[in-house]
Chain A
Amino acid sequence: SAVISQKPSRDICQRGTSLTIQCQVDSQVTMMFWYRQQPGQSLTLIATANQGSEATYESGFVIDKFPISRPNLTFSTLTVSNMSPEDSSIYLCSVEDRLARVRYEQFFGPGTRLTVL
């Protein structure tokens, strides 16, 4: 199974600034996903990032607020732009490994805990 790391693991940021979160996978994967998990809430998909194409955003999420890069098959970044306290959340990346034993299984990183003051 794919092993995923995220940087930073946590951060405290000021309102109006931006934070870029990195996601690194130990194997090449086609599909990478970015989720937000707000306190007491479910995981909500922000966007799907496939290498070589523009990220596909879910309803309620826009590229200007959450720009995503996917330069190769093992790495992606999510930027949270012009942050407000409402952006305080855990951000997780996940991948779908075509070699996984379970179809559609996603492997998750440990998450980035963001607090915006």
Chain B
Amino acid sequence: QKEVEQDPGPLSVPEGAIVSLNCTYSNSAFQYFMWYRQYSRKGPELLMYTYSSGNKEDGRFTAQVDKSSKYISLFIRDSQPSDSATYLCAMVIIQGAQKLVFGQGTRLTINP
């Protein structure tokens, strides 16, 4: 079983739709939760981060963490074609040195 599971998609939705991206994890040692966005032929960039259970909103993006269920989500409201990218969840584990553990990434396309 992978430490972090993420549906790779691809996911294709019309412009303006609400998008829901999800990850589950198995390791209770994960302490910090992030979402990275990766455009084609680019490196990933941090989009959202959260340290605790609950919701965090930033513009059209909402990150949600449920530690009891080991489940995190990213919601995109009023999706735009420029949101088309691969979205990777990432979790920080601190055992001695810290490291990021990534989900597989979900490829998202927003159709105009």
| Binding stretch for chain A, among B14-22, B63-71, B97-105 | B97-105
Minimal beta-carbon separation of B40 from chain A (angstroms): 11
Known: A42-B88, A43-B88. A106 touches B100 (CB 8 A): yes
Determine which of A4, A40, A41 lies in contact with B43 in the assembled complex, contact meaning CB atoms within 8 Å.
A4
Known: A103-B32, A105-B34. A43 touches B102 (CB 8 A): yes
Known: A42-B102, A105-B34. A111 touches B88 (CB 8 A): no
Chain A residues whose CB sits within 8 angstroms of the CB of B99 once the complex forms = 33, 45, 48
Q: Between A and B, how many residue pairs show CB distances below 8 Å?
A: 52
Determine which of B6, B41, B97 lies in contact with A56 in the assembled complex, contact meaning CB atoms within 8 Å.
B97
Q: Judge whether B98 and A104 touch: CB under 8 Å.
A: yes
- 16 inter-chain pairs at a CB distance below 8 angstroms, sorted by A residue, are A42-B88, A42-B103, A43-B100, A43-B102, A45-B100, A48-B97, A56-B97, A92-B44, A102-B46, A104-B32, A104-B34, A105-B34, A105-B46, A108-B45, A111-B41, A113-B41
**With A45-B101, A102-B49 given, can you name 15 additional A-B contacts, CB distance below 8 Å?**
A33-B99, A42-B4, A42-B105, A43-B44, A45-B100, A48-B97, A48-B99, A56-B97, A94-B43, A103-B32, A104-B34, A104-B100, A110-B42, A111-B41, A111-B42
Which 5 pairs, one residue from A and one from B, show the smallest C-beta to C-beta distance?
A: A108-B43, A43-B102, A42-B104, A42-B102, A104-B92
B-contacting residues, A1-56, CB 8 Å: 4, 33, 40-45, 48, 56
Most chain A CB inside 10 Å of its own CB: which residue of B49, B100, B101, B104: B100
Chain A: CB-nearest residue to B103: A42
Chain B: CB-nearest residue to A45: B99
Minimal beta-carbon separation of B94 from chain A (angstroms): 9
Complex Cα–Cα for A13 and B92 (A) = 34
Chain B: CB-nearest residue to A105: B46
Chain A residues whose CB sits within 8 angstroms of the CB of B105 once the complex forms = 42
